[in-house]
Amino acid sequence: MAMKVNLTTNQTGVNEAHLSKLIIRLHPIIRAFLLKCGGDLSSAIYEAICKADFCMFALYRGKPYFIFEGEMINKMVLIDSPEFSGFIGRLIKLAQGKAPASRAMKPALENLKNEVILDGAVIEAAEFNSYLNAAFPNEGVILDSKDQNGRALLLRDGVVASDNSPTGLTFIHKPAKGKLTYIPSGGDNLKLENLHDLFSNLNRNQFYLVLAYITFILAHPRSQGLTYPMLYVYGSAGTGKTTVVKLITKLLGLGQDTVKTLPKSERDLVAIAANHYILCFDNVANISNELSNAFCNVVTGATVTARTLHTNTDTTDIETHQPIIMTAITLPRQYDLTTRAAFIHTSKPTKSYKNENEIFQLLDTMLPEVQSWLLDTTAKTMKNVVDVESIIDHRAASYTQWVAGFEKTLGIEDQSVQKCFMKETEEGLNQQTAEHNPFITSIAGAVEEFGEFTGTPTEVHKALSSYIQSLEMRLPIGWPANANAMSIKLNNSVELLAKQGVEWFVDAKRGTKGRKATLRPTLLPEKKETPPLFDNQELKPTTLHDASDLDLLQDSELEWTKTELEDTSIEDDEFIQLCEDIETNARI
C-alpha cells in the first residue's frame, strides 16, 4: 500500500507544468546533441538550448539564467537552482531513457554555468510588474500572475485584460507561495467592510490608505524618478502590526511569509532584496545610520557595487529599487527616513479571533474576490490619477497623487483619505521628535505637568531645571547650563515646541527686572460669542468715527527719544543676550 503524505506548495511548483511541457518539446533536440557530443552533458545541453527557438540562456545582474517562453511573458530560472537541476535531470532521462549519473550532473551544470557567464547575452527582466513599453508608460502595466502557462494581466485604459499575445517581457521566477487571481467582474459585489474586519486595528481611512498603498505597488513598476513610500506601521505591543503586513503581502500575491528580521548591514539588505520583491521587516528598533541610508536608497532606486565572488578585482552592480514595509513600537531617529515614510498607527483590534491563522483562513475564502477588486480598482485609478490634484506635500509625490486618484475611484469627495495621510504623518513626526529629542520631551512634560513658567530667563531656567529634575530624577543630556544657553536653544526650537503644544516667547519691553520670558501651553484664541439680541432689538451696523478733524503727523515729523526707540524695538537673540550680559556686568 502506497504511503500517503500531505504535500506542500513548494517554491518550484509555479513553473512545474510549464517546464513539463518544455521537456516534451525539447527532448528530441537534446537526444540528437547527446549523440553528437558523445555523452558530453554540458555541451549537449548548451547546444540544444541554443538550437531551440523557444528557450535560451542569458545573463541577468551577472548571474546565468535559463529563459523559456510563455503565452504572454517569458519566465526565467536561475541555472544554479534546484528547479533547473531537476528540469535537466528529467530532460536527459526522457532523451536517453535513463537518469544521468549524479557524479556527472554536478560538473556538467558547473561547466554549463561558466559557459553562459562567458558567452551569454545580457537581458532586462522584471520581478513583479513591468511597463508594457517603458518608453510610453501609459500603454499599460503587465503583472506576473504566476500562471503556469505564462499568461499575465494587462492593466490599461481603466480595465484589466488577459491578452495572450506575446509581449517579449521576461519575468524572473521568485520563490513565493502566493499568486494574483483575477476574475472578470469578480470583485463587483465585494463588501469592503468584510475585508476591513480583518484590519480591525485600523480605522476606516487608515484601511483605505493601506488599500491605496497596495494598488500603488500594483500599478508602479520600478522606474527612474519613482519613490516608493516606506510604509511604517507602528503602535504598542499587541496591536497587530505584523498581521497587517502579512495581509498586505498576501493580497499582493506574494504570500504571507515575507516578513523578515532587520538586517544587520547594507550587504545583508542587498542579499534580501535580491530574493524578495517587497521588503518587510518586523520590529525595527534602533536602525543604524548605515541601514537608514540604505533603506532610503532602496525606495528611491540605487545601484550597489560589490566585489564579484571568487575574484579580487572584478565588481558586480546590483540594482535595488523596491517597496519597503516596516513595523515597530517606536519611531526611528533619522529624519531623512521618516520624511519618506507613510505612517500607519495601529490601535487595539476591535474584532477578536482565535489566532492569526483564523484571519488568514477567512482571507483565503475571499481572496480571489478581493484581488479582482484590487486589480479593477488599480486599473481605474491609473486612468483617474491624471485628472486630480493632491493636497499632500510629501517626498513620495507619485504616491500622494495616487491617493487622490484612489479617492476619485472610490467616490470619496471630502478628501478624508488624504487628510488622514497628513494627520498620520504629522503625528508620526511629532512622536519621533518627542522620542529622540530629550530637551523637547522634558520641556513638554514639565509644561504639561506644571503649566506656565514666567519670569526673567534666569528665573525660568532655575524653575524649569528644578521641576524637570523632580519629574525625571535627573536633567536630560545636553541640558543648557545657564539662562542664555536655554534662551538660545528655546528660540531655535519654537516650531518643535509648537508641535508639542508649547509656546515660548520673551517680551520685547524691558521691565524693572529685565525682559519677561514665558514658557506655557499653547493658548488657543478665545472664541468671542455674540450676545443674544433682546426681543424687538435690531442689530445696528458699526459706526466708524470721522478722522478728518484729527491732527495727524507724518512719520518724518515724529521725534523719538533714545529710550522710546529701545522700548519699541524687538531685538534678535544675540542683542537680547548682549543686553543681559551688560546688565549682569553692571550689577557686579
* pLDDT the model gives residue 435: 78
Strand partners, 57: 66
Average pLDDT (468-482) is: 86
Average of pLDDT values for 75-100?
A: 90
Please provide residue 458's backbone torsions phi and psi, each rounded to the nearest 5 degrees. -65, -45
167 vs 10: which has the higher pLDDT: 167
* Residue found by looking up cell 523559456 in the block: 68
Range in 3-12, 461-470, 503-512, 517-526 with the lowest mean pLDDT: 3-12
Q: How many other C-beta atoms are found inside a 10 Å radius of the C-beta of residue 571? A: 15
- What is the widest separation between alpha-carbon atoms in the chain? 119
pLDDT at 555: 47
Domain ranges, ordered by start, for the chain: 17-176, 192-425, 437-521
536: left (phi over 0), alpha (psi -120 to 50) or beta: left
The tens digit of pLDDT for each residue in 489-545 reads 899 888 888 877 899 999 888 877 788 999 999 875 554 444 544 445 454 444 444
Place of cell 525539447: 26
CA distance 59 to 488: 60
CA distance 514 to 99: 97
Q: Is domain 437-521 given the CATH code 1.10.10 in the classification? A: yes
Cβ atoms of 130 and 139 closer than 8 Å: no
What value, to the nearest 5°, has the Cα angle with vertex 315 and ends 309 and 319?
Answer: 100
pLDDT of the residue at 275: 79
At residue 262 the predicted structure's pLDDT band, cuts being 50, 70 and 90, is very high
Topology at the third CATH level for domain 192-425: Rossmann fold (3.40.50)
Of 215-219, 342-346, 559-563, the one with minimum mean pLDDT is 559-563
**Mean per-residue pLDDT, 273-282:** 89
Span 117-130, average pLDDT: 91
Residue 183 burial class via C-beta count within 10 angstroms: exposed 0-12, middle 13-18, buried 19 and up: middle
